[in-house]
Amino acid sequence: MSIDKEPLSPILVRCQQDLQLNRRGERTQQSYVRYVRKFAEFLQREPDSASEDDLRNYLLFIKNDRHWSASTINVAQQALKKFFTLTRPREWPTLKLVRSRGEFKIPVVITIGEVHTLLKPFSNSSIGTSLRSAISSEPMDQPI
């Protein structure tokens, strides 16, 4: 069953069944069918009638016009790749070409004061003692 409210067209039902046979999880099936549906909405026709240029234009559209994140583009691309390899097999170079780079995010670093605030509820417990001891320990130069 799809998360989306609209009933699936016969080609999307077939796509979902192909994903089941390909041993994809239910959430993956739902996600992939949703992205194939979005492709069909972009085309304003069934996705199995698409050309390679249609696919290429859609991938450029979601990247350049919609500004989808790299991870979202990767899921959409994998959904379309499965559709065009399982449901309506096509040998298109575009399916091998596309891969978005992940976004680099700087890790969050907290201050010593924030650490103390986080540990305050555990101040009188053995957990708090263990955490304080682990945090205040100097890194060992030599392995044990």
Q: Sort 52 into a burial class: Cβ within 10 Å, 0-12 / 13-18 / 19+.
A: middle
Average pLDDT over residues 126-136: 69
8 Å CB contact between 55 and 94? yes
**What whole-number distance in Å separates Cα of residue 133 and Cα of residue 52?**
60
Instruction: State the CATH class of domain 10-97.
Output: mainly alpha
What's the pLDDT tens digit per position in 65-98?
999 998 899 999 999 999 999 999 998 888 887 6
Residue written as token pair 């205040």:
136
pLDDT at 142: 47
Residue ranges per structural domain of the chain: 10-97, 106-138
| Average pLDDT along the chain | 84
8 Å CB contact between 122 and 131? yes
pLDDT at 100: 59
pLDDT at 130: 72
pLDDT at 144: 45
Q: Is the pLDDT confidence value at 16 over 80?
A: yes
128-135: long-range contacts, CB 8 A cutoff, minimum separation 24 = none
Question: What is the helix, strand, coil percentage profile of the chain, to 5?
Answer: 65, 0, 35
Tell me if the pTM is above 0.95: no
pLDDT at 36: 97
**What whole-number distance in Å separates Cα of residue 33 and Cα of residue 89?**
16
pLDDT at 34: 97
Say what percent of the chain tops pLDDT 70.
81
